[in-house]
Chain A
Amino acid sequence: MSTLEIKDLHVSVKTDDGPKEILKGVTLTIKDGETHAIMGPNGSGKSTLAYSIAGHPKYDITGGTVTLDGADVLAMTVDERARAGLFLAMQYPVEVPGVSVSNFLRTAKTALDGEAPKLRTWVKDVNAALEKLNLDPTFGQRSVNEGFSGGEKKRHEIAQLELLDPQVAILDETDSGLDIDALKIVSEGVNRFRAQEGKGVLLITHYTRILRYIEPDHVHVFVDGRIADQGGPELAEALEAEGYDKYLSAVR
């Protein structure tokens, strides 16, 4: 049971010429159990939205609110947000040399639950999660994201989604750079997550392709830091046919 509510969110980044506004008032509510797709051209601010919700220090929130079941997300530290039930699958997952995947997963699980997972079931759960994403068991010994292929990085993000089991998942271009087989595997993982009671998903994507496997309840078109249009799944089909041109020319 969880609702993520974003109201009139304004976000800027620091540049050499002073602050630059990237998000120009974003309002969006993901109700209990809903999947929302955000589609938009490169540079429209999709990752900025994802990172701002997760609390990346690079972004300055200049206005608006974000709440999770009424709790003020923007007042929380990055790790508090995760412990409150938010998860961000990153567009560019970060390498952490020398830290094994299994150590990382166990540390994260322990932090989220406030106690170490039971060793025996945990090892089984990890192996099962890796296997479902077609990652071989030796994957656990590798350093986090170091030397991973693009597809391995994305599959590893979704394995984390399943193991850490948040309330609301934000998936930032999890589909980009995946071949069709990997796309299916990743989509199945997201769908297993969604099939559980009350889980919210914010699926950020540039292409409509993944929406064939993960059907959204709502589609938002994101252009120049704002939601330019919204609708049901049919909006994605229109975008597939027509592209973003009509929205972009409206901005210019």
Chain B
Amino acid sequence: MTLTDSARENLEAGLEVKHQITSHLNPPPSYDLADHPAPTGREEIWRFTPLKRLRGLLDGEASDASLTWDTTLPDGVTLSDISVDEARELGELAPGDRPSALAVALAGGATLLDVPADTELDEPVVLRLHGENVDDLVYGHLVLRVGRFSRATIVLVHTGSARYAATTSVLVGDGAQVNVVSLQDWDDDAVHLGRDAVLVGRDASVRHTSVSFGGDVVRMHANVEYAAPGGEAELLGLYFADAGQHLEHRLFADHNQPRTKSKVLYKGALQGQGAHTVWIGNVLIRKVAEGIETYEENRNLVLTDGCQADSVPNLEIETGEIEGAGHASATARFDDEQLFYLRSRGVSDKEARRLVLHGFFQDLIRKVGVPEIEERLTATVEAELAKNVLRELD
């Protein structure tokens, strides 16, 4: 390659980032609400979502309702209100869809959680967000900033009910190690459209786990992009849809920097009439992103008739110079061979199913890396199981 060629390539790479030429699977980010019109349901990004059940959450109606916050802040960590302009100046990631654009436009400012540079937190930061009533229309705008070389675990727990549209930027400084868990443990009628957008600093590593149990409609984005080379992101997810529930998880790993990694594992179970889950795993490997590695996997376990699990991995590759890229997606019922093996040891059918399902999720729960949350997840999975599948077998 001649010098001129390489200079041109760099120039193009620079332009590409500046102009935000994005994947055809993800509309360009923008603060302008006009760029995010109310969906009809035919749009690629909305075709799985039951718009009629959103209770007007995308209408753009103003509201000053809020969730109640109960927080555990370790020493050195601060929580403060900032303006939208300040959030933008901090380098938050611009809204990528209508719910996040509405959240920024109508939340009336953002909440900043700040973990300064060179801080090692031994205890997790816990933000408990609670809604009183599904009639409350709430917009949430959060920025979680973790300074360079810090190590932090941040847990968001959503309970109660609301119609909630929210965007959260996670800004991870160079060399930082961050673990973010978002737990959607809503009451049955809640509607939650959320977007977590993670910006990974140079050589930083981030684990993001999204867990959805409750709510009528929950639609969560987890997006990751990289501020510099060398960053790693692990995106985990666990969901359990009961009768009539719609739980949707949309991932976007944007490899916009060289030598970055993304690893995605989402596991879900479905039980009961009308339980619907959607998993969309988009990965874009841009031309500049040489030497990257990505792997994404989604597994669904269908426990009863009448459920639907949609699972769509998408890999767009603009460079051939990658270390590795792959995906796997599988939706299955209980495996007869596994059940036979367990039952041949005297274990009842019901207990065998419980064990297989426990194992299915335990695999993932073990990776979350926050002991309190791991225990809570294990207990919730058991409780979900007791609700339906196992009861039917009695």
Contacts and interface: CB of A to CB of B under 8 A. Distances in A.
Interface in B30-48: none
A215 B352 CA distance: 35
Given A96-B355, A97-B360, A108 B341 contact: no
B343 A99 contact: no
Contacts of B363: 97-98, 143
Contacts of A104: 342, 345, 355
B359 A111 contact: no
Given A104-B355, A111-B351, A96 B338 contact: yes
A104 B356 CA distance: 10
B71 to A, nearest CB: 33
Contacts, number: 85
Interface residues of A, number: 31
B341 A96 contact: yes
Give the interface SS of chain A, mostly helix, strand, loop or mixed: mixed
Given A98-B361, A99-B356, A107 B341 contact: no
B352 to A, nearest CB: 8
Given A111-B346, A164-B346, A94 B351 contact: no
Given A57-B336, A57-B340, A99 B358 contact: yes
Contacts of B346: 79, 82-83, 108, 111-112, 164
Contacts of A99: 355-356, 358-359, 362
A37 B108 CA distance: 80
B347 interface: yes
A78 B359 contact: no
A56 B345 contact: no
A80 to B, nearest CB: 9
A157 B360 CA distance: 22
B360 A98 contact: yes
Nearest to A160: B345
Nearest to B359: A98
A58 B336 CA distance: 9
A111 B354 CA distance: 13
Interface in B224-280: none
Interface in A47-97: 54-58, 77-79, 81-83, 87-88, 90, 93-97
B343 A79 contact: yes
Contacts of B336: 57-58
B361 A56 contact: no
A164 B348 CA distance: 15
A87 to B, nearest CB: 8
A112 B337 CA distance: 20
Contacts of A93: 341
Contact of A98 (B345, B347, B351, B362): B362
B33 to A, nearest CB: 44
Contacts of B338: 94-96
Given A97-B363, A108-B347, A111-B347, A78 B355 contact: no
Interface of A: 54-58, 77-79, 81-83, 87-88, 90, 93-99, 103-104, 107-108, 111-112, 143-144, 160, 164
Top 6 nearest A-B pairs by Cβ distance? Answer: A98-B359, A99-B359, A82-B346, A108-B345, A98-B362, A98-B363
21 contacts: A55-B340, A56-B340, A57-B340, A78-B340, A79-B343, A79-B348, A79-B349, A81-B344, A83-B346, A96-B355, A96-B356, A98-B358, A98-B359, A98-B362, A99-B362, A107-B355, A108-B345, A108-B347, A111-B345, A111-B347, A111-B351
